[in-house]
């Protein structure tokens, strides 16, 4: 007789965390966790009673996302980057992810620096490639 716990038979093993659990681990509000799931940043399985059950990877994704948001990435962009992350990421997978995110952050910083350098080196502020004196339509 192997009939035992049939309640969460459809929830894969490892998916034991509730919304509140993930929220506590990731340091965000439960509402935010639902928001991220709605937007595909994380995924959940559902119990027979329609409750979400998360993986610990979900909490990890959220933590990374919060830091990535600080460098200007939108939830949508972060979701896209996460699209390449396997369901059960190995350290190398995290490393690849890190490369992508850091590269993006550095590219944006480089753009900022480059533009500021341009302004600074232009003797008289940034009258760069703008035609002053005309008023063409938009």
Partner DNA sequence: CTGGGCGTTCGACATATGTTGAGGTCAAGG
Partner DNA sequence: CCTTGACCTCAACATATGTCGAACGCCCAG
Interface ranges with a second copy (CB under 8 A):
13-14, 17-18, 20-21, 23-25, 30, 55-57, 59-60, 63-64, 67-73, 87-91, 94-95, 97-98, 101-102, 105-106, 108-109, 111-113, 115-117, 119-121, 123, 125-132, 135-136, 138
Q: Provide, rounded to whole angstroms, the least separation between the CB of residue 118 and a second copy.
A: 10
* φ/ψ of residue 65, rounded to 5: -60, -40
Find the shortest distance in angstroms from Cβ 89 to a second copy.
7
């Amino acid at each position: 007789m192997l009939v035992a716990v049939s309640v969460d038979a459809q929830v894969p093993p490892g998916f034991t965390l509730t919304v509140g659990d993930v929220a506590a681990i990731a340091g965000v509000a439960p509402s935010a966790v639902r928001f991220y799931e709605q937007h595909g940043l994380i995924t959940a399985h559902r119990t027979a009673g329609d409750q979400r059950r998360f993986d610990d990877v979900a909490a990890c994704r959220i933590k990374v996302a919060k830091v990535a948001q600080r460098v200007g990435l939108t939830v949508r962009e972060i979701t896209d980057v996460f699209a390449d992350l396997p369901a059960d990421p190995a350290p190398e997978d995290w490393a690849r992810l890190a490369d992508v995110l850091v590269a993006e952050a550095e590219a944006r910083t480089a753009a900022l620096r480059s533009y500021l350098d341009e302004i600074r080196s232009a003797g008289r502020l940034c009258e760069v490639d703008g035609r002053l004196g005309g008023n063409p339509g938009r």
